[in-house]
Structure 1
Amino acid sequence: MTETTPQSISVSTTDCYVTQYDRLDDAPLSVAVAEAVATYRDADPIDLEPLYYAVNPEALERLFEPRADGLRSDGSVTFEYNDCSVTVTADGEIRVTAA
């Protein structure tokens, strides 16, 4: 059996931006959320409000981090950030739409 490296998939329309976050990656989920919103807004992530104005980044990380019994298989969280609605799902999807 061979293992494959997960590919990052991004889909963008004028109404929605969707990207896949690798939950086993060392990069923080909070960074991936900021980058997704920046991409949707066609902005630099540095120019966005800090994520902690919208959601506790540590709580977001802990919600979707691998558990002792494996990866969480269901659940999602939705919040507003920089005039966007952001939904993060347990399977690693980050969906950004206009708020």
Structure 2
Amino acid sequence: MSKRSSTNRTSVHDEVQYERDDDEPLTVAVAEAVATYRGVDVIDLEPLHGAIDTGALERLFDSRAGDGRTTGTVAFEYDDCLVTITASGTIRVEPAPS
């Protein structure tokens, strides 16, 4: 398995805000938001589970369980981006801090 270099990654946007659909898995929404930010296909991204525990992320904001969080924010770096997720379902993608 080859490791991709991230030194030449660029974005097509300064920032992307992505509003997640209620029935859309959070991990899928994160990948879509980052792919949009990068201007690439989702399959060209690094695996999300390499940046964050995807199961824990889904459980943290799982509204289908009936007791989903109504407040809170999680931020993490993924694929040279800073991803910020709010309990309201907004996903913001911007450049990772240098």
User: Which TM-score applies when normalising by structure 2?
Assistant: 0.79
Report the number of matched residues. 84
Q: Following the alignment from structure 2 to structure 1, what is the Cα–Cα distance between the partners of residues 73 and 57?
A: 10
Equivalent residue number for residue 15 of structure 2: 16
Say what the alpha-carbon RMSD is for the aligned residues: 1.5
Instruction: Give the letter aligned to residue 33 of structure 2.
Output: A
SS state at 1:58 partner: helix
Deviation string, structure 1 residues 42-94 (Cα, Å, up to 9, x no partner): 011001000001001111100000244x4421001000000000000000000
Unaligned runs of at least 5 residues, structure 2:
1-11
Provide runs of 4+ in structure 1 moved above 6 Å.
none
2:39 aligned to 38, 42, 45, which one? Answer: 42
Unaligned runs of at least 5 residues, structure 1:
1-12
2:77 aligned to 74, 77, 80, which one? Answer: 80
Equivalent residue number for residue 5 of structure 1: none
Instruction: Give the letter aligned to residue 86 of structure 2.
Output: T
User: Which TM-score applies when normalising by structure 1?
Assistant: 0.79
2:95 aligned to 89, 95, 98, which one? Answer: 98
Instruction: Give the letter aligned to residue 46 of structure 1.
Output: I
Give percent identity, aligned residues only: 56
Task: Tell me if 1:29 matches 2:26.
Answer: yes
